[in-house]
Structure formats: structure tokens, C-alpha cells
Amino acid sequence: MAMYCYEDELRRRFRFGRRGIEYLADLLREDLARETDRSCSLSVEEQVCIALRYYASGSFMQVVGDTHGIHKSTVCRVVDKVTKDIVKRHKQFIQWPVDEATKRRVKSEFSNIAGFPGVIGYVDGSHVRLIKPSPDQERFYQQKRIPIYKCDGRKFTFINEQWPGSAHDSFIFRTSTLGCHLERNHRGLEDGIVLGDSGKKVRDEILSQKTKEERR
């Protein structure tokens, strides 16, 4: 189906090129092939493309279904299945660098990209468009920032989405498992630098909090 498109057309439709789609299909094949065997309709590649199209377009499932010539209930089932199979593999790819070899590699990669030595990640918020559920809608209204992302070069290495959009990034970081880990275990420059913009001051807050506790 979509795999016969040109590379630039694939990226416009799915935000992934041919190799990326093939990689995802191979990664999820064992789980999605079982679904294919039961339904006898959609190949693994088709299921991946349907889910990617839904993610990339942010459109209604009815529209995605019309595009692919399938019913919206099938789109719903496919998106739900593909999403769950991707999420359950998140620890294979979203990992904060903890061992020395990984830290050295990350520092080297970041230095090659940005020319900044000693960096093991940078923190920023990201907005994700969604349909707010009718109950408790106020939790989903955003201020300037939402969750925390840590990046290894160009890759997510930590994500925290537990707080509502109105929460401040510094608070989210300070109460996250990563913030607590760094507060307890970070030894200074030898463990690397985490970059953030002026609105976060996350390391300053951690150091300030530790100083207050030491004074007590």
C-alpha cells in the first residue's frame, strides 16, 4: 500500500521514511502477525502505516479509515494494538545514561553535534495535541510547558508525563524519578551536565535544596 510511495511522500504522510516503517514492522511483527492471523485482512506493514498516519495527521479515525479504505472501527483497533505494542517496548529505547561507558558515548556524541563538552542531556517541555476529556478538563489546559524530556544527542532518554499541563517544568523535574536520582547520586561535572533554558534552573534548585537540608 503506502510502501510503494516515494520517500518524500512517505515522510509527508507518516513522518517516517521507508527504512523507519520497515524497522517498526519488523520490531512489532511477532505481536501484529497474530492480529493479522485472526483478522486475515491487514498485513503488519499496513497496520503500522495506519497507526503512523493517525499519529502524523491528528485526524479523526473516520478520515484515516476513508484514506486507507477501511472502517473506522478497524482503524481504532489497529491504532490501539500498535500503540500498546510500541509502548511496552519503551524501555528498550528510552534509557537515561547511568553506566560510565554510556555517559562517555553520550558526551562525545553531544560534543560532536553541538560543540559543547560534558553534556549528558538537556531538558525541555513539549506540547502534545489531544482531545480533552469532558470531566476534569482543566488538568489538560497548558501554560507554556508540559512534560520533561531528556535527550541523548537527538534521542529521548527520559519522559515524565504524570503532571497536568499547568504544572511548572521545574516542579515536574524536581519531583520526577530522574530529578530524585540526580539529587541523590549526581557527583558534579564528572557525571556530566544537564542543560536547560533560563525558565527551568533545575540544577540550581537541586543544589539549593541540598544546601538547605545540609544546614538543618
Tell me how crowded residue 189 is: count the other CB atoms within 10 A of its CB. 9
Higher pLDDT, 168 or 112: 112
Q: Percentage of residues in the chain with pLDDT exceeding 90?
A: 27
Domain residues for 67?
2-90
Give the number of domains in the chain: 2
Q: Are 81 and 103 part of one and the same domain? A: no
Instruction: Verify that 142 and 44 share a domain, yes or no.
Output: no
Question: Does 147 have pLDDT greater than 50?
Answer: no
52 and 130 inside one domain: no
Q: Is residue 161 domain-shared with residue 209, that is, in the same domain?
A: yes
Examine the domain organization and report whether 116 and 207 are in the same domain. yes
On whether both 128 and 149 belong to a single domain, the answer is: yes
More confident residue, 184 or 135: 184
Residues 61 and 134 in one domain: no
> Of 90, 125, 156, which residue is a domain's last?
90
Q: What is the pTM of this model?
A: 0.66
DSSP letters spanning 19-55:
HHHHHHHHHHHHHHHHHHHHHSS--HHHHHHHHHHHH
Residue 41 clears pLDDT 70, i.e. is over it: yes
Cα–Cα distance, 17 to 7 (Å, whole number): 6
Q: Is the pLDDT of residue 148 over 50?
A: no
- As a whole number of angstroms, the distance between CA 182 and CA 174 comes to 10
CA distance 23 to 208: 45
37 and 119 belong to one structural domain: no
- Contacts of residue 179, Cβ cutoff 8 Å, sequence gap at least 6: 173, 202, 206
How high is the pLDDT of residue 37? 59
